[in-house]
């Protein structure tokens, strides 16, 4: 059995670059940085940042171009592909990318607050598990933005009574 799935959560490193292919299909190139933090043997805090190339096609590419901005927290789910081409100097070049199938956006910047929205490149919808709580599940929309801020605020008010609030500044990436 073979399986090729990548899930990246990080910050957009530059505004998406939107292009149209000669046959009229929209494609977006997005850079995302994700960080890993750990303590080494001496207890010192270490951090390493990885930079990822994301490619989105069709309606998902248009949404990326319309809503993503540099510094925004984002989750991409897709597959890893490596493409090759001959450079102008005749040397074969390679580039590994994540071809996005789903995207979930976070707040636009660290200081701004807002609800997350989910976008899916596929035509079908995902159904929630039977044992899930519909009030806490995120809604998946088909290439249509949805403002979930009011739903998130209502859920946050209920949860804040029982839990400590997590601030976006506390997230390590």
The larger pLDDT score, comparing residue 82 to residue 151, is at: 82
pLDDT digits (tens, 9 = 90+) for 72-95: 999 999 999 999 999 999 999 999
Under a CB-based contact definition with an 8 Å cutoff, are residues 53 and 97 in contact? yes
CA distance 24 to 20: 6
Q: Residue 30 to residues 9, 38, 53, 95, 96: CA-CA distances in angstroms?
A: 13, 27, 6, 14, 13
38 backbone dihedrals φ, ψ, rounded to 5°: -155, 165
DSSP secondary structure of 26-92? EEEEEEEEEEEEEE-TTS-EEEEEEEEEEEEEHHHHHHHHHH--TT-EEEEEEEEEEEEEE-TTS-E
3-state SS class at 146 = coil
pTM of the entire predicted model = 0.63
Domain annotation for the chain: domains and CATH numbers:
6-170 (2.40.50.140)
Chain segment 4-16, per-residue pLDDT in tens: 999 999 999 999 9
Question: Highest mean pLDDT: which of 24-33, 123-132, 139-148?
Answer: 24-33
Give residue-wise pLDDT tens across range 92-127.
999 999 999 999 998 776 544 455 555 556 443 333
pLDDT tens for 58-74 read 999 999 999 999 999 99
């Amino acid at each position: 059995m073979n399986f090729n799935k990548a899930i990246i959560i990080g910050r957009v490193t530059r505004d998406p670059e939107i292009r149209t292919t000669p046959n009229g299909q929209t494609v977006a190139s997005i850079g995302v940085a994700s960080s890993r933090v750990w303590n080494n043997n001496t207890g010192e805090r270490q951090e390493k940042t990885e930079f990822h190339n994301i490619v989105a096609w069709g309606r998902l590419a248009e949404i990326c171009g319309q809503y993503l901005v540099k510094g925004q927290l984002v989750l991409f789910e897709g597959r890893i592909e490596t493409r090759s081409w001959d450079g102008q100097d005749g040397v074969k070049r390679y580039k590994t990318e994540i071809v996005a199938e789903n995207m979930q956006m976070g707040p636009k910047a660290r200081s701004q607050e807002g609800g997350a929205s989910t976008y899916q490149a596929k035509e079908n919808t995902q159904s929630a598990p039977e044992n899930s709580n519909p009030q806490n599940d995120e809604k998946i929309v088909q290439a249509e933005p949805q403002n979930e801020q009011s739903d998130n605020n209502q859920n946050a008010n209920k949860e804040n009574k029982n839990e400590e609030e997590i601030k976006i500044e506390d997230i390590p990436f």
